[in-house]
Structure 1
Amino acid sequence: MRNRLETRFSEWVRRTAFLGSSSQVPEDRWLLSQFAQSRNDDAFAALVGRHGPMVLATCRRVTGDSHLADDAFQAAFLVLARRAAIVDPKGLRGWLYGVAVRCSLESLKSMGPGGFRMAYMPQVPDRAESTDVGVDFEEIRILHEEIARLPEYLRVAVVLCELDLTNRKEAAFRLDIPEGTLSSRLAKARRILAQRLRERLIAIPAGGLALVLGYPATAMIPATLATSAMQLVSAVAVPTTISQITKGVLYIMFWQKWKAYALAFGMAAVLGLGTACGLALSGTPQDGEKSAAVPKSQLGADRHIAYVHGDAFSLLNQDGTDETAVELTGLWVGSAVPSPDGKWLAAWTADEKRKGGTELRIRQLDGKGTGARFELPDKIGHFSFCWSPKSDQLFLNVGAPGMKGVRHYRADIASQRLEPVELLKTHLVTDWSADGKYFLTTSVGEGEFWHPRAMYQMNVDGSERLALAEPEGWAKSGKLSPDGKSLICFHKGTPCIIEIEKPKVLVPLKNIPQTAEVVECAWSPDGRRIAYTIASIPFITGIEKSDLKKIETRLVVADRDGSNPQTIRSAKGQLIGRVFWR
């Protein structure tokens, strides 16, 4: 396998060495389509050969360490392999640059506490020779980070013209846009970069970005490194370090894309990064459909598990028997959340015919009537909510394209009043304590691009109560146990338990396969057991459209540490999403 791939890579490099930008060299569009459709090794080798020198040079500049750079390089092309079917070929180079920077930043986390190295490592061979620019390694890293944060249409223009030093006529031709449009994009990108860099106390020198970063830059790719990157595409087991880098970057990419485009696609929030929105598993039922009434015997003290599957919201006994579907006319099923007292259900709708924003609707769980409606004024990318312990209020989290931080609202069911809350602007609220005194939150930062990592208990007045954990990589606070002594959270997609008396100690659930992905968890009313939904493959970070037919999802009940798991529902080719235990 290694010899075959290494030979193909070496042959492609030799074959194209004398062709330059000639039309005889296959275009990115053709190469991407060949790889995405048939997993063509030659096409992928060509992509590595064409863009690998830029990716490796970027990884070396950001990490300052050749070994970390090699890991980031391999992870970057593994991300490309996972996303080849959806990447815009015209913007591939800018997209890959952004991925290379993100992978490099993720690889630096393997250094542990202390973070980024402040000195440029001598083994990096392609550092710019000029030393009179007055920019140190930390500033170089920040420059790369800010360029990577640009929207893709601006980033690719910067990469081609400012970093690769491609002339504007050629760059405009490659992007299939007028040269004037390209100039406007470059001017806009420079304004954004200048503002962001000023906020971080860095100025772009007169010589421009290329001078500071040492571009145009390429790095000779060892054939063995290129081969290793290509082998990972079809590998059954990926080395742990590279797997962690790849998964972290895919989560970040997914989160940022979801925040910006959730409303446009009419979906509920995948992975439930608040407590309301979970998986996008359904569309809006047709007008005239009737909601199925749920027998009273299945509500209240009997305690049942509620879960989302396909376009249905269902209740069933704890042993998986006597299932009853609750159809939600006009609502996004994947966003439905039952109240703690089991009487109400809240869900949202995004009616494209209405000029207003998203509408949150409250209805009786037994299907006999509807309650309050709350229309949010914002065009929303992320929308999630949690119930108050008395089931009389809802706390809403809102994010939108271009919005910095998080916007919050409080909805009062009795008065039907919706009021903005000027608190917790850097937090997503995921649960409300049983005594009503504090929230469980995930900190996502103040910027436009959210980074969900740190988890907290926050008092309802917005002051910090307790820092629960700040693990490396993507994290999400989830749900408090009924007694308030524990919480179940997610770290890089893995469910973990944190005991409030022992904050910052994350204990992963037992019996969770490494190749699977847990979607959502819920506590039993007595806190002794948990229910969770799990997918047989990591669909958020790596699924292809063709894999949907192969995916299996299960609803599982287990002891609170994950032992003694029992599957009470399963589905092939269908996603089982949110789960609640009332």
Structure 2
Amino acid sequence: MNATRPAEILRQLEQSGATDVELLARFASTKDAVAFETLVRRHGALVLGVCRRVTRNPHDAEDAFQATFLVLAQKAGALRNAALLGNWLYGVAFRIAYRARRATGRRRAREVTMANLPEYPVSDSVSVMPELVPILDEELAALAECYREAIVLCDLRGASREEAAAALGVPEGTLSSRLANGRKKLAVRLAKRGIALPFVLLPTTVSELQAATMLPNELLTKTCGLIADYSASGAVPSPLVKLTQGGFTVRKTLMFGLALTVAVTGAVFAAAPRENTLLPDPPKVPAVVEIPTEQPKPKEEVKTVEKATAYAAAPKLRHSFDLSVGWGPTVVWNATGTHLAVAGLEHGGAWGGPGNRPVVWLFGTTGDSKPIAGHPDAGAHLVAVAPDGKGIITDLREYKLISGHHHLAYWSESNNQPPGGGGEGPGPASLVKPTLVISKAVKLDSTETHGYTFAAEGKTFRTVAWEDTAISGPETLEVLEVDAANGKTIKPLMKVKYGESTLSPDGKRLAVLDKEMTKVTVYDVDRGEKLSESTLPTDSTVELPDGKTVDIPSHSEPQLLKFSPDGRRLVVSRGIGHSRVLNTDTGAALPRLEGTSLAEVHFDSHAFSGDGRLLAAVRRVYKISVKNPGPKAGRGAVEPTSLSGNDWILTVWDTQTGKVLKSWKSSSGVRWAFCPTNPLLAVLEENGVGNTRVGFWDFAAEVEKK
């Protein structure tokens, strides 16, 4: 046992005012024993409570308790959301305790009986229902993440609503709604297990049950000694090594072996799911000794984040040029950020007349890149650009025709002018030679699908399919993986209830807005699991600059959803004053976008910068004329008399703060697209009849230094 930790350290800083974030940083950087001991004191009762309830054995509970804090010591420098450390520890403790219980059950199934359960004290209010103890955490884990987070924070950890709302990054009203709904759902789940507990009594019961758990000084001392030994030499008792090695096994067991905890126990209660999994299975023995060699990783990540979070408030126009394409084109980047394709109508006569034909331009981002053009069939859509920038992919989907055509067309560069492809357009001949021609066509199934996310190598793509019946409309939607070489479905990946939906650019996450437009659910497509859930405001009131509120009538604008390139952020737009950016790992809302309380937010396919930090969209800003409220109007409410929105502003926000980084007054026809690999924004705007100006604006921080 390491003897470098004197007894007075155990008493020091018991009521430390340092935050969890600060304490974790101190331990990660200097192995500060006092900092870690403070964390154990602060969260120990919560962890011990869940360990006791799940294991139902005092010795296993202590092992699970120590293993939980061992995992914290190993991952102290890698947690992105340390402000929610208590929730994270709760999730880790639940999984480890469940594994410990299974291991004990296999080892001596006949010895672990109700008579041998630990006799730790409980309050009178829960002693009449001892059956609540072993199932509370199972049912709590089965709740949707947004509800579980709120209950863990307020009922188990004792946080105030103000503190919990701040920790989750949501308004206090949203937190209250989640808390009330979560308690109701938990009460229903408990009732199905035979526990009739009114939801109004649930918070008191849960709080008293947790409050009955006290952290023994002996266990505190033992755990801190364990961590001190680990920090000094990496030595850890083998039973704890086995527990920490079982993270993935526990997770699979909970998903497939215990129906009541399906799809939830592998989730992270506060931080990103990938961060909250336990040690990889199986690491080399002794597993924990290898962790210190990975400690430089957090430093590398911090450096990367710092570099990525610096942006220019005064972006620089790198270069610009005109294309022969009409107003409101479609813009698509390739995955590597080297080339851009623009699709629209080429003006060849009276606007809208027979002289106009579809055109797609392909070009690089450097000033010396020469655009080349292709002319797809009417009705075809630009869906992708080849990773190497040497071709494009279009689709033709004629769902409304009984004898409709359905195919993907792969285009590549050719120096031969196709028939009818001469330089009739207004652009110079150098812009149409060489040209793009179809090199391969792949027939597609006639099943209605929406969107394409191609794999990195381009051999497969994912798409969302549904059947729209004339009677009831779509009921479900299904994510399919398709062979790009022959257009045949390889396999269905997951099926969920129908709603407005979108796939992340890598096809690994699916976001669905329910039909009532009150909830966004994000799914992990590969696992077929719900990843997070976000409840959206349902009222139609917006706040005016003077603090008053006004009721906005329902709007017919389509509901819009769009992922960041890495799938970790999602922007949701539902009309005037109802635009949000969500963290898809946790479901929490990011800070509200500045200047959107009286605006609709419209965005294109490449709305986010590559790291998801910047968001580019057009605000349609409305002006409201109001009349004086009557004597019965309450709480500053006013009634609108007219609503007009003629101001269109192209805006770039920093989603981490919600602040506007840059804005330009524009028109409704402007198009834009962030490069997926660097903060370069392509802006396309009408420049005379049949022409579009393309400009590349660089938001890298370095441009302000030049």
Q: Scaled by the length of structure 1, what TM-score is found?
A: 0.44
- Specify which structure has the higher proportion of strand: 2
TM-score, normalization: structure 2?
Answer: 0.37
Computing the radius of gyration over CA atoms, which structure comes out larger, 1 or 2? Answer: 2
